Amino acid sequence: MFEEKKSSTTPLSSLGEFGLIEKIKEGFPIAQASSKVGIGDDAAVVHHPDQTVVSTDMLVEGVHFDLSYVPLKHLGYKAVMVNLSDIYAMNAHPTQITVSIAVSNRFPLEAIEELYAGIGHACTRYKVDLVGGDTTSSQTGLVISVTAMGSVKKEKISYRSGAKENDLIVLSGDLGGAYTGLQILEREKAVYKVNPQSQPDLSTYAYAVERQLKPEARKDIVELLEELKIVPTSMIDVSDGLSSELLHLSKASKVGCQLYEDKIPIDPQVLAICKEFTINNTTAALNGGEDYELLFTVDQSHFEAIKNHPLLSIIGHITDQASGCNLVTGLGQQIELTAQGWTSHPEEEEL
């Protein structure tokens, strides 16, 4: 961690764009039936008999990631996850991705190979094909742009706009991990700057740090919903924080919502880190972001199927639009949700 890798030796310029594309192509065989032609022509050819969903996200060095503590392999993996998460949030299955990177010559070939190793790991694990992309030089930082495509039957698509009054609000997994993991990494970076000999022991923070560095898109939840024969009335992934996502969903569905503070699932390790950093844990969950959990609404008739499922939490319900979007605190107060989220400590509002 925090080490500059000096062992790498192959300058990118020695390979050229075409050499790099050949190398990448070798590592990414086509697996999906819907991928007809992958890397190597002017465009890839795919065929989805059902509906195709498409999403794209760009990650920029210094804005979305800090290479002083994000290993390139993890970065490649995360860049794919961020996009697959959007596909799952439509209740669809991802099938293909394209990846464009702009990279400065300060990166040797081995660094790019690390990045693509992470992308490849994500592709293998999530059964997604890399079918195209672009590699170009950059005069400054690293930029990764991923476009993901997925497939879904028309009647199974979950938009943001379908939530109905009295629907249950359901969340997968738990929140706040990625945000608290980032706090740990930033602290260790600051320590390292003062003392480059320091060897941080992150083992007690492993869960939170992993949530930040190596998030997983919730493929399992979309599969579970299929098994349970539930099509969410609305769905969104939690990339920006629960508060902001709930507001998006409510606005698109023209409804209000009631969220219960004591129902928000937070891992004990995250609670401990919040205590250590004197961060309000509800604030971390509401505004932290980057957890890539799925937030969705279902008809009340599914209550029994969901209520005790270990991967799911019912955290509230949908109301009429006039009632607005509210958080009911542990003490029973009702507070309006805002995009910046509720906070008991005003000084944390930039969170």
Structure tokens at 273: 């880190």
Specify the residue for token string 């969950």. Answer: 285
In the set 139, 195, 197, 278, which binds its own copies (CB under 8 A)? 139
Site for its own copies contains 140 (CB under 8 A): yes
Q: How many CA atoms lie within 13 A of 162 on its CB side?
A: 18
Q: How many CA atoms lie within 13 A of 290 on its CB side?
A: 24
Site for its own copies contains 150 (CB under 8 A): yes
In the set 133, 232, 288, 341, which binds its own copies (CB under 8 A)? 133
Considering only the stretches 93-101, 270-278, 279-287, 304-312, report the one whose residues sit in contact with its own copies under the rule CB under 8 A. Answer: 93-101
Site for its own copies contains 68 (CB under 8 A): no
Whole-number minimum distance, CB 58 to its own copies, in Å? 4
Q: Is the dihedral of CA 185, 191, 195, 197 positive or negative?
A: negative
DSSP letter string, 224-240: HHHHTT---SEEEEESS
Site for its own copies contains 153 (CB under 8 A): no
CA angle 214, 349, 278 (to 5 degrees): 70
Site for its own copies contains 62 (CB under 8 A): yes
CA distance 70 to 248: 30
Nearest to 198 by CA among 208, 213, 188, 209: 188
Considering only the stretches 140-148, 184-192, 204-212, 305-313, report the one whose residues sit in contact with its own copies under the rule CB under 8 A. Answer: 140-148
Site for its own copies contains 141 (CB under 8 A): yes
Closer residue to its own copies, CB minimum distance, 50 or 210: 50
Query: Binding string, 246-275, against its own copies, x = CB under 8 A?
Result: ------x-----------------------
Considering only the stretches 55-63, 184-192, 199-207, 301-309, report the one whose residues sit in contact with its own copies under the rule CB under 8 A. Answer: 55-63
CA distance 268 to 281: 10
Secondary structure (3-state) at 248 = helix
Window 187-226: residues binding its own copies (CB under 8 A): none
Site for its own copies contains 231 (CB under 8 A): no
The contacts of residue 47 (CB under 8 Å, 6+ apart) are 34, 36
Binding site for its own copies (CB under 8 A): 36-37, 40-48, 50-58, 60-64, 86-87, 89-90, 92, 96, 98, 100-102, 131-134, 136-141, 143, 145, 147-150, 154, 157, 159-161, 235-237, 252
